[in-house]
Structure 1
Amino acid sequence: MDLDLFVQYCESLKGTTLENPFGDNTLVCKVMGKMYALADVDSFESINVKCDPEKAIELREQYPAVIPGYHMSKKHWNTIIMDNSIPNSQVKQWILDSYNLVVNKLTKKDRAELENL
């Protein structure tokens, strides 16, 4: 996966906004103001995604390119090294899982607003 495909996929998820709150070289994908993915736009060596804590450990054990979230909560975030060892379809699924984790934690009002977008 390259940066363009990452951005294109994230933008396809309903209600996604792309922001740079940590500086111009860090792209943050949010839904209803909540982060679900981050990437360095200069090198695009890795992305960070939210993950269920138990599943996060399983993925780290199964995939060498999945490590605890860099500069994030190690319990709730994974960093995926973009070395092409993981198929794009799998990376997309993990991005979608992250998005869904965030959406499921939104308030009822925010979920209703998201549905109406």
Structure 2
Amino acid sequence: MEYESWRGMLLSMPGAFEDFPFGEDAAVFKVAGKQGGRAKMFGLLMHRGGQLNLNLKCDPALAEQLRAANEQITPGYHMNKKHWNTVVPGLDEETMLAMIEDSYDLVVASLPAAERAALGWKGLVERG
């Protein structure tokens, strides 16, 4: 159930698409602002040890806070542990969507201005 829900949230981001560069067991969610632009990953959805995992980019300070407050969030599996979290099922939908949006925003912020404009991206949104 969570797989399809999380997949839908990831694909709902403007310009997002799904790719399988590591095989059919790992869905990589990327964004690129224009045709031919270099796509960047903002999510990795996979099963590991029979458990659904979603890797998401995160501001380092927020990543630590989220990990301390939620047992479902750990340092990113096979990722830079400072900038990526791994999430397992158990968080509410609102929290998941906020984390996905934050990951997307961090990645889109690093795209060239023309690509950000092509996505209609307005900038990072501060969350309380």
Q: What TM-score do you get using the length of structure 2 for normalisation?
A: 0.82
**Whole-angstrom CA distance in 2 between matches of 1:10 and 1:66:** 17
Unaligned regions of 5+ residues in structure 2, if any? 33-38, 122-128
Alignment-derived partner of residue 100 in structure 2: 95
Unaligned regions of 5+ residues in structure 1, if any? none
Q: After the TM superposition, which parts of structure 1 deviate over 6 Å for at least 4 consecutive aligned residues?
A: none
**Whole-angstrom CA distance in 1 between matches of 2:51 and 2:110:** 28
Write the mapping of 1:7-86 to structure 2, written as runs, cut at 5 A: 7-32=7-32, 33-40=39-46, 43=50, 45-82=52-89, 84=90, 86=91
Q: What TM-score do you get using the length of structure 1 for normalisation?
A: 0.89
Task: Name whichever of 44-53 and 91-100 sits farther off.
Answer: 44-53
- Give the partner amino acid of 2:27: L
Alignment RMSD, CA only? 1.8
**Whole-angstrom CA distance in 2 between matches of 1:81 and 1:41:** 10
2:23 match: secondary structure: coil
Confirm or deny: 8 A CA contact 1:51 1:98 kept in the other structure. Answer: yes
**Whole-angstrom CA distance in 2 between matches of 1:7 and 1:70:** 18
Alignment-derived partner of residue 35 in structure 2: none
Deviation string, structure 1 residues 43-97 (Cα, Å, up to 9, x no partner) = 5611000000111011111111110000000010000111x2x111101110010
Indicate the percent of aligned positions where both proteins have the same amino acid.
37
Alignment-derived partner of residue 124 in structure 2: none
